[in-house]
Structure 1
Amino acid sequence: MKNLRYNILLRPEPEGGFTVFVPALPGCITYGRNLSDAQKMAKDAVSGYLASLRKHGEPIPSDSESFMTSIEIENSKNARSAAYA
């Protein structure tokens, strides 16, 4: 069986731990107490998500062409006002 690779987004939570999002799989979100646990939980969540897709005859989405990056924007009232003018 071919291995699948999915990007995950880890968001640190104020109370500790990480919320994990899998952008290629809408609604696939989980939580881990630490980074290692979050990655383990992500694998479990993705496996369950894909099993549900297979069970219902849905296509398995690929994340091979996707990647994440970040952007930087100015944080000022004037910048926001100009965008909506």
Structure 2
Amino acid sequence: MKYSYYALFTTNNQGRIEVTFPDLAPHVATFGNNLPDAQRMAADALVGYLLTAESLGIKLPQPSSFQDLTPDSQQRLIPIEVDTKSN
């Protein structure tokens, strides 16, 4: 199944990029050493959680729209799209 959830990317004090999914908090979080790495890690963390949720029958929340989420000036809001059927 295809999913798309927004992720918040925040650079921490060590220069790493922390990634959280507001709609799936506190269940899905990761980090990367730079933006491409953080995006790859975000997709991996998201698909891992979604596969687990599907197998356990956990009801997933509807993804928020961009307008519903309010990142601060230090954050980037990026949609992460995954397909659990390709894993």
TM-score, reference length from structure 2: 0.69
The corresponding residue for 1:69 is 70
The corresponding residue for 1:16 is 15
Displacement of 1:64: 4.6
Q: Which runs of 4+ in 1 moved over 2 A?
A: 64-67
CA distance 1:6–1:45, shift in 2 (3 Å): same
Instruction: Give the whole-Å Cα distance in 1 for the aligned partners of 2:71 and 2:61.
Output: 23
The one-letter amino acid paired with 1:19 is E
Q: Which has the higher contact order (CA 8 A, sep 6+)?
A: 2
The corresponding residue for 2:6 is 7
Displacement of 1:69: 2.3
Cα displacement string for residues 24-63 of structure 1 (whole angstroms, at most 9, x for unaligned residues): 1122110100000101100001101111111111123221
The corresponding residue for 2:31 is 31
User: Given that residues 17 and 32 in structure 1 are in contact (C-alpha distance below 8 angstroms), is that contact kept between their aligned partners in structure 2?
Assistant: yes
CA RMSD of aligned residues (A): 1.8
Displacement of 1:4: 1.6
CA radius of gyration, larger in: 1
User: Given that residues 5 and 64 in structure 1 are in contact (C-alpha distance below 8 angstroms), is that contact kept between their aligned partners in structure 2?
Assistant: no
Identity value in percent: 36
CA distance 1:15–1:65, shift in 2 (3 Å): closer
The answer for unaligned runs of 5 or more in structure 1 is 72-85
TM-score, reference length from structure 1: 0.71
